[in-house]
Amino acid sequence: MKAVLLKKHGGLENLVIEEVPEPVPKDNEVIIKIHSAALNHLDIWVRQGADGRKIALPHIPGSDGAGTIIEKGAKVVGLKIDDKVIINPGLSCGICEQCQHGQQSQCRSFGIIGMSINGTFAEKIAVPFENVNPKPEHLNLDEAAALTLTFLTAWRMLFSRAWLKPGETVLIHGIGGGVATSCLQLAKLAGAVVIITSSSDNKIEKAKKIGADYGINYKTDSDISKNILEITNGKGVDIIADSVGAATWPINFNVASKGARIVLCGVTTGAQAQTNLQYLYWNQLNILGSTLGSHSEMKEMLKAISAAKLKPVIDSIEPIKNIVKAMDKMEKSDQFGKIVLSL
């Protein structure tokens, strides 16, 4: 079968398409014929081998995928051949204390498909059956592939970690990336008032079309913090959903309301940042980390988006042969929503 194969860490030129052996299912695995995959920022780190993410090479990247079950192991239950499915990329051991409590993303040996094992940028993939869910009926396979990693991440951030309630104000940094657009869509679904930031007026307009109440251009705006405080009548925002990290972190402490929740799921601009400790204790802020989500959060998220017939924002769909072009676009942050690869 054909797959994107990473033979050494480094630049985009290391993403090549080659023939590789077909996957063989273990007893607890299904083989999925991938119809569509989607890019995530994680794919860049995996390719670069950054932040200690050096992995066994050669490696097939890709964490999001949707397709059809074509084979299954002897111990697979609840799934059948020809089912149209999506993949939950979080890998957990199933036996540690956290797994026993249903907190799979806090598993002591937590991993991610496309990072810890071969990923979805291939014609076929072997996946543990616990990680496979039926495709929501209202989504086609391109939309379904664009859903999982970012919507599951956003769901856990907003609802499990930051306890979002209707009417609260949510600030989302760097609209355009997959997690940010997913946070926007889910926060609006939950009845929140949403403020987004971006360096692009074009992205701000697109975000307003899918529900953003306020948009601030952090490149042209002389004082973002002042602007956000004005929007909230001086109170500050209740929740900050941050996947940007170093570049936005100091702003969070200027604009958080008393008792606000600052929830971080990624650091696309770097992991080292300054925290105003005085603001932290005086304003009684909650700093929360969040990673992907559990099997039950996945099911809750799918139920909610199916009921609302919510579709993930897709920036573009590219054939797999254009992997370098697609990845380059994401690396330059030129996208608004998910970039999908068709196999």
The token duo for 191 is 């009845």
**Residue span binding Zn ion (CB under 5 A) among the ranges 97-105, 151-159, 170-178, 262-270:** 97-105
Residue 50 or 93: the one with the smaller Cβ distance to Zn ion is 93
Residues 6+ apart with CB under 8 A from 209: none
Q: How far apart are CB 160 and Zn ion at their closest, in Å? A: 17
Residue 169 or 294: the one with the smaller Cβ distance to Zn ion is 294
Q: How far apart are CB 111 and Zn ion at their closest, in Å? A: 10
Q: Is 309 helix (H, G, I), strand (E, B) or coil?
A: coil
* 13, β-bridge pairs: none
Q: How far apart are CB 89 and Zn ion at their closest, in Å? A: 15
Residue whose tokens read 């592939």: 145
Residue 291 or 316: the one with the smaller Cβ distance to Zn ion is 291
Q: How far apart are CB 292 and Zn ion at their closest, in Å? A: 13
Residue 109 or 284: the one with the smaller Cβ distance to Zn ion is 109
Q: How far apart are CB 308 and Zn ion at their closest, in Å? A: 31
The token duo for 45 is 């780190």
Q: Is 159 helix (H, G, I), strand (E, B) or coil?
A: helix
Helix (H) or strand (E) segment spanning residue 193: strand 193-198
Neighbours of 318 (CB within 10 A): 18
Q: How far apart are CB 28 and Zn ion at their closest, in Å? A: 15
Q: Which of 93, 271, 307, 308 binds Zn ion (CB under 5 A)?
A: 93
Helix (H) or strand (E) segment spanning residue 128: strand 124-128
Main-chain phi, psi angles of 283, to 5 degrees: -90, 0
Scan residues 251-280 and list those touching Zn ion (CB under 5 A): none
CB 127 within 8 A of CB 25: no
Q: How far apart are CB 5 and Zn ion at their closest, in Å? A: 29
The token duo for 214 is 């306020």
Taking residues 165 to 204 in sequence order and writing x for each that binds Zn ion by CB under 5 A, - otherwise, the string is ----------------------------------------
The token duo for 295 is 């099997």
Please count the residues of the chain.
343
Contact between 96 and Zn ion by CB under 5 A: the answer reads yes
* Exposure b/e, 158-182, CB count within 10 A at least 16 = b: bbbbbebeeebbbbbbbbbbbbbbb
With CB under 5 A as the rule, give the number of residues binding Zn ion.
5
**Residue span binding Zn ion (CB under 5 A) among the ranges 86-94, 123-131, 156-164, 203-211:** 86-94
Taking residues 99 to 118 in sequence order and writing x for each that binds Zn ion by CB under 5 A, - otherwise, the string is x-------x-----------
List interacting residues with Zn ion (CB under 5 A). 92-93, 96, 99, 107
